Amino acid sequence: MQDVFIGFTSITWQMLLMYAIGGALIWLAISKEYEPMLLLPIGFGAILVNLPLSVVWEHAGANGFLKILYDMGIATEIFPLLIFIAVGAMIDFGPLFKNPMMIFFGAAAQFGIFATMIIATLVGFDLKEAASIGIIGAADGPTSIFVANLFAPHLLAPISVAAYSYMSLVPLIQPPVIKALTTSSERKIHMVYHESNSPKWLKVLFPILVTMISGFVAPISVPLIGSLMFGNLIRESGVLERLSQTAQNELAYLVTLLLGITIGASMSAENFLTWKTFLIMGMGLVAFIFDTAGGVLFAKFVNLFLPKDKKINPMIGACGISAFPMSGRIVQKMANEEEKGNIILMHAIGSNVSGQLGSVIAGGMVLALVPLIFIAVGK
C-alpha cells in the first residue's frame, strides 16, 4: 500500500518550489510571449524532472528519455551547433557590408562578458565557472550552452535559464540603460542610409573567409563559427533555397524544442536550488546591462571625433548584442518615440548583425584564452 502513495510521500518543498519556477517560465512564455519557443519547454522540463522518482531522467538503473536527449544533444554539443546552422541561415550580413564600421559596435557590446567574468571571480567562482557565467552577456543562448558545457557543466541549467530569460527581457532591460546614458538630443540624431546591394561574391566569400581566419587564430572556436557561417553560406549560395528555408524553419523549431525541454530537465531541485544559481541570475543581469552600456558609451566616444553632420545615434551601440532582431527594433521604437519619423532601423540592424558575429567570436576567444590562462598559472 505504501508504494501506491510513494509519489505523494516523496514530495519535498524543493520540488514544490521547482514546480512554481517551471510554472512561472510557462506563464511568461504564454502570457507575456517572452521567448515562448524556449521558456515553455524549459518550464515544462523543469516540472517533469522534479516529479517524484524522476523517471524521465533515470529509473531502475536505466536512462530516461530526457537523459538520453541530454547525452545526445547537450553533452555532445550537437543541439547548440545545429541551432547555429539555423541562425546562420537567417542572418543577412548585407547591412553590415554597407556600413562596416558597425562591426566595432558588435565588439564593444561584448564588454559585459569580460566585466562579468571579473566580477564572478571576485565573488568566489573559479576561472572556468566565471567564463561560463560571463558568456551570458553574449545574449546568445547556444553560445552560453556551448561554453558552459565545456567549462562548467554543473552550472549549465542556471546559465541557460539566465541567458534565455534575459534575452526575452531585453525590451525591459535595455531602454532604461540607454536613457540613463544618453540625452534626448542624442536620441534624436538622424542617420542617413544609402540603399545599395552587396555583390553576391562578397556574400559567398564572407562566411568562408571568416571560418578560415577563425580556424587560424582560434581553432577551438571553429565549431561555433563554422556552424554559423555554414548556415549563412547555405543562404547566400542561391542554389540551396529549399535547404535554407528548412534550416530557418523546421530545423530551428525542432532543435529549439528539444533543446528547451532538455535544459529544463537539467533543473533538478538539488542542482538548481543553490546559492550559486541566485548569484548567476544576478550576474547575468549585470552582464546584459554592461553590454548595453558598453555599446552606448563606445558610440558616444566615437562621436567625439566625428563632424556634426556625421554623428552616430548612440542608441545604435546598444544593438551590438546578439539579441537579433529584437534589439534593433527596440532602438528604432525609442528613436521614433523621441522624434516621429526618425528612421535608424537599418543602422540598428547592421549593429545587431555585427553583434551576432561578435558574440560568437567572443565565445571563441573565451574558449581559446581560458585554457591558456590555466596553463600559465600552472593549474
**Quick check: 96 and 112 in contact, CB under 8 A?**
no
Q: Is residue 327 packed enough to be buried (19+ CB in 10 Å), middle (13-18) or exposed (0-12)?
A: buried
Q: State the amino acid at position 279 in one-letter form.
A: L
The enclosing H or E element of 165 equals helix 156-168
User: Residue 33's pLDDT band (boundaries 50, 70, 90)?
Assistant: confident
Q: State the amino acid at position 344 in one-letter form.
A: I
Q: Is the pLDDT confidence value at 189 over 70?
A: yes
> What are the cell numbers at 26?
510557462
Q: What is the pLDDT of residue 9?
A: 67
Q: State the amino acid at position 51 in one-letter form.
A: L
The enclosing H or E element of 235 equals helix 222-237
**Quick check: 275 and 161 in contact, CB under 8 A?**
no
> What are the cell numbers at 113?
562578458
User: Residue 379's pLDDT band (boundaries 50, 70, 90)?
Assistant: low
User: Residue 39's pLDDT band (boundaries 50, 70, 90)?
Assistant: confident
Cα–Cα distance between 212 and 216 in angstroms, integer? 6
Q: Is the pLDDT confidence value at 4 over 60?
A: no
**Quick check: 43 and 22 in contact, CB under 8 A?**
yes
Give the pLDDT confidence of 221-257 residue by residue, as tens digits: 889 899 999 999 999 998 999 999 999 999 999 999 9
Q: What is the pLDDT of residue 7?
A: 65
What is this structure's pTM?
0.86
